[in-house]
Structure 1
Amino acid sequence: MLVSGLTLAVGLPRQHAEAHDGDHPPPAAKPAEVYQPSVLPDRVILTVLEDPRTSVAVTWRTSALVHQGWAEIVVADHGPRFESRARRLPAKTTALQTDINTAHFHSVRFEGLQPATTYTYRVGDGVNWSEWLQFRTAAAEPEPFSFVYFGDAQNSVRSLWSRVIREAFRDAPRAAFLLHAGDLINRAESDAEWGEWFGAGGWMNGMIPTVAVPGNHEQARLPGGARGLSRHWRPQFEFPLNGPPGLEETCYTFTYHNLRVVALDSNRDLQRQAVWLDQVLADNECEWVVCTFHHPIFSTSKLRDNRELRNLWKPVFDRYRVDLVLQGHDHAYGRSGLQVPDQAEVAGPAGDEQQNVAEGAQVLDPHTGTVYVVSVSGPKMYPNRRPPFMRRVGEDTQLYQIIHIDGHRLRFEARTAAGALYDAFELTKRPGQVNALREIEPEIPERLREPIESASVREPATP
């Protein structure tokens, strides 16, 4: 009878299934209740620090009743009898009054760790603890590794973005870190939206370190009318403090094996960051360089252009032959080859200040060798203007990207929310030259609302 009843319920038309208690709909969940903090830790998240071989940070949330947080950490054991060996560290605590509650955020920096070692840790107040979670430090010497890159999650995060980050985990469960190129949520000061974002990642956030930069939707209206960084950002993310003064935890850099990652804040202080970026890359000794920020150097969406950003930052990328630039913001996919317009500023139609780059004649520079990617992981979608120097474009497609690095080779894979290979290529280092680029056949054709009307001018891959 139970099976029969379940079968009947599944088969009901939607209008009948939605009826409840005398045709009254079920009550909607109240965000203030759903995302109410308690004495039990939630929103546990690991974040990268300057040296992932020996350090990582953890942050978590509790109610304001918890005034002192603690983290316990121990080298992972094969059995359950390890708690007595755990080292206990005090947390830094920050109070945050949100639009629906008041919470305390606690953070600890685990430092002095051993490379290539799995650690077990938990967080709490000494009585109320999280589950034991695990992470692994980077090895002392370079070895093959992967990381995952997401464009904007932003909207309907719980209902429509959760599947993307979880599908990415199925493909890359041993990822070194998860990289988010801004617009993690839509409303900067909405605690419910932040709750959705943390819920989507769930325990993955507590086991794989996060790298994130703020987008325009992490900017909030400040007293006096100006816009500035969301009050949620710094309490809930503990990032490196090695960026320009005033841009702490939004502009920073770290190394992972033979990769230098530079995270930039494209919302403000672009000139100061250009100077800092030049210094970072001048001192760089890593073989690979990846830069990430929110607003694209070359936009994929119509009526969008970030000329000041391009004028200030692209010459630095060119000078140091940055390998890969990972961006978001435009809600459409685009990936260049090694050749992009050589001018920092390329005018659109006369009088059109919003028109995107490179509408008219272009001169593609064969010497810089930077691949630019714009991607989107959430459900908000814009039309793609299909820049002719992009090797692969897409519309109406939720994507995640896995980047594999093994010595002199870098492999890039963009996969859809259903796991299909949408775009892929391989870069190989060549001493004194730009990288060699090898295109890899995707599993599905380009997803576009309308066919491309004319042949795109797309440069050939290098041999």
Structure 2
Amino acid sequence: MFRFSKAVLLGLFLCLYALAHDDSGIVKYSSVEMYKPTPMPDRIVLTWEDNPATTQSITWRTDTSVKKAYVQIAVANASGRDLNPDLFGAKTIFFQSDINQAHYHSVTIRSLDPNTLYAYRVGDGVNWSEYFHFKTASSYPEPFSFIYFGDAQNEVRTHWSRVFREAFRDAPRASFILHAGDLVDIKDMDSNWGEWHEGPDWVNATIPLLATPGNHEYVKYSKAKRTAPEISAHWQPQFVFPIQDVPDERLKETVYYLDYQGVRFISLDSNIAQEEQVPWIKSVLENNPNKWTVVTFHHPMYSPGTDRDNPHLRKLWKPLFDEFKVDLVLNGHDHVYSRTGDLAGAKVENVPNGYQQAYDPDVGTVYVVSVSGPKMYEFTKGNYAKKILEDTQLYQIIDISDNDLRFQAFDATGNLYDEFKLKKRKSKPNQLIELSKKVRNIN
């Protein structure tokens, strides 16, 4: 008769327990499988390269078996089977990512009617997406809203997606969505872009977006983290922005402007060729027929983050913003929230960065820094801003109507944190009206 020691029996028990609770049957998808292109269109995005009232640009991705791609589009009606859409061929380019090969397709539909709802779908003639709606802008100044996000960047699928979706719940009729750079962390990693597309999902196919590049759209992923001379290879295949008379070829589709219902939106590239952009900025501001001007670029003019000041931007660009009284500047990069405003006699010097309060009532420009992803930094001590907040994911909704601009900042759960209004005044700077009930200051 065999006898087993207690040690042997214990070992046998542990082995059997491990086998009974073995989770090796759970399959973890690799990024290659998760983000593999197919003949079915995915990563569908709306942007503009021209007038938002009469054009619409559409991009999407398939595998390389799709050689010819199309858009079907018609004025939307209440009976889908009676759409009778027009057919437009798309431009197709080959794209080699770090994990797959794909075709990106793009088309700009022109001669659309302003202020009109359209239905469209994309495909190869056999494999079609579902129909989506978009609405063209009005040719005239009319009230509208847009959503603004700071850096998404890290853990985008896990933690940024809910922020995007909460913003969409709050503003489902937003005219467009503005991203202030660092959409992803590693610029040429397809899985990073795959995660970024997963968050908005179909919303990107029905609400257009504007985007300005961040340093992580330029930084080459290496131990040295050295700046690469080119923007992410993914940028231009998936986003179609205006190609304008910029001073440097590298700035095409990163430096541009669009006019939307009485507002000029300007994207600048704070990563490269900052000085070369100065004449272009002056021309675009000087020849601006719109009542409102909103500028976005990634690195803050006034940085709330420790050791992250950008004095060269203030030296180069701020004089033009002051001269032409830019209304609102939207930034990212510092992974905190900061918003300038009149401190009404409070001690305003920011000693570590050497500048005083950033709001000048004789100019009226409001500067905002925000973050939408989970990566956070700490503040520099010192008080230069009206509202500051750290360790909080946020989204912002901006409403513009005639002489009023209303700005609201919400946290990831939809709680209102900051609110103000800018009111246009004849021959005077904007009036800044604080609507937040309390000002939080961590100094």
| TM score, norm. by length of structure 1 | 0.86
Q: Distance in 2 between matches of 1:222 and 1:410?
A: 39
Q: Distance in 2 between matches of 1:33 and 1:174?
A: 34
Equivalent AA in structure 1 for residue 370 of structure 2:
S
Q: Distance in 1 between matches of 2:44 and 2:323?
A: 39
Q: Check whether the contact 1:50–1:253 (CA below 8 A) recurs between aligned residues.
A: no
Paired positions, count:
417
| Greater Rg by CA | 2
Shift of 1:403: 0.4
The equivalent residue for 1:233 is: 235
Q: Check whether the contact 1:334–1:386 (CA below 8 A) recurs between aligned residues.
A: no
- 1:248-268 Cα distance to aligned partner (Å, 9 max, x none): 111110111110000111111
Asked if 1:198 corresponds to 2:200, the answer is no
Asked if 1:142 corresponds to 2:141, the answer is yes
Q: Distance in 2 between matches of 1:155 and 1:203?
A: 21
The equivalent residue for 2:5 is: none
Q: Distance in 2 between matches of 1:279 and 1:48?
A: 21
Shift of 1:329: 0.1
Q: Check whether the contact 2:341–2:358 (CA below 8 A) recurs between aligned residues.
A: no
The equivalent residue for 1:208 is: 207
Shift of 1:81: 1.8
Give 5+ residue unaligned stretches, structure 2.
1-17
Q: Distance in 1 between matches of 2:384 and 2:105?
A: 46
Residues 375 and 222 from structure 1, CA distance in 2 versus in 1: closer, same or farther, beyond 3 angstroms?
closer
Q: Distance in 1 between matches of 2:151 and 2:314?
A: 20
Q: Distance in 2 between matches of 1:378 and 1:222?
A: 19
- 1:262-281 matches, within 5 Å, as 262-281=266-285
The equivalent residue for 1:38 is: 38
The equivalent residue for 2:23 is: 24
| TM score, norm. by length of structure 2 | 0.89
The equivalent residue for 1:106 is: 105
Asked if 1:374 corresponds to 2:372, the answer is no
| 276-285 vs 224-233, which moves further | 224-233
The equivalent residue for 1:87 is: 86
Residues 268 and 339 from structure 1, CA distance in 2 versus in 1: closer, same or farther, beyond 3 angstroms?
farther
Q: Distance in 2 between matches of 1:35 and 1:310?
A: 41
Equivalent AA in structure 1 for residue 306 of structure 2:
K
Q: Check whether the contact 1:266–1:295 (CA below 8 A) recurs between aligned residues.
A: yes
Asked if 1:299 corresponds to 2:303, the answer is yes
Give the alignment partner of residue 411 of structure 1, picking from 397, 406, 410.
406
Equivalent AA in structure 1 for residue 34 of structure 2:
V
Asked if 1:290 corresponds to 2:294, the answer is yes
Q: Check whether the contact 2:342–2:359 (CA below 8 A) recurs between aligned residues.
A: no
The equivalent residue for 1:457 is: none
The equivalent residue for 1:70 is: 70
Q: Distance in 1 between matches of 2:361 and 2:34?
A: 53
Shift of 1:82: 2.9
Shift of 1:356: 2.9
Please give the secondary structure, in 2, of the residue aligned with 1:179.
Answer: strand
Shift of 1:308: 1.4
Residues 272 and 290 from structure 1, CA distance in 2 versus in 1: closer, same or farther, beyond 3 angstroms?
same
The equivalent residue for 1:356 is: 353
The equivalent residue for 1:313 is: 317
Q: Check whether the contact 2:329–2:367 (CA below 8 A) recurs between aligned residues.
A: yes
Q: Distance in 2 between matches of 1:291 and 1:106?
A: 29
Please give the secondary structure, in 1, of the residue aligned with 2:323.
Answer: helix
Shift of 1:144: 1.0
Residues 445 and 87 from structure 1, CA distance in 2 versus in 1: closer, same or farther, beyond 3 angstroms?
same
Please give the secondary structure, in 1, of the residue aligned with 2:257.
Answer: strand
Q: Distance in 2 between matches of 1:141 and 1:363?
A: 33
Q: Distance in 2 between matches of 1:228 and 1:323?
A: 31
Give the alignment partner of residue 392 of structure 1, picking from 387, 393, 397.
387
Please give the secondary structure, in 2, of the residue aligned with 1:281.
Answer: helix
Asked if 1:434 corresponds to 2:438, the answer is no
Please give the secondary structure, in 1, of the residue aligned with 2:197.
Answer: helix
- 1:327-348 Cα distance to aligned partner (Å, 9 max, x none): 00000000001689xxxxx998
Equivalent AA in structure 2 for residue 356 of structure 1:
N
Shift of 1:242: 1.7
Please give the secondary structure, in 2, of the residue aligned with 1:434.
Answer: strand
Q: Distance in 1 between matches of 2:439 and 2:41?
A: 44
- 1:215-272 Cα distance to aligned partner (Å, 9 max, x none): 0000143999844200000001011112504111111101111100001111111112
- 1:297-351 Cα distance to aligned partner (Å, 9 max, x none): 00011111112122111111011000000000000000001689xxxxx9987xx
Equivalent AA in structure 1 for residue 186 of structure 2:
R
Asked if 1:250 corresponds to 2:247, the answer is no
Give 5+ residue unaligned stretches, structure 1.
1-18, 341-345, 350-354, 453-463
Residues 362 and 35 from structure 1, CA distance in 2 versus in 1: closer, same or farther, beyond 3 angstroms?
closer
Residues 67 and 431 from structure 1, CA distance in 2 versus in 1: closer, same or farther, beyond 3 angstroms?
same
The equivalent residue for 1:455 is: none
The equivalent residue for 1:188 is: 187
Q: Check whether the contact 1:189–1:220 (CA below 8 A) recurs between aligned residues.
A: no
Equivalent AA in structure 2 for residue 397 of structure 1:
T
Q: Distance in 2 between matches of 1:159 and 1:20?
A: 31
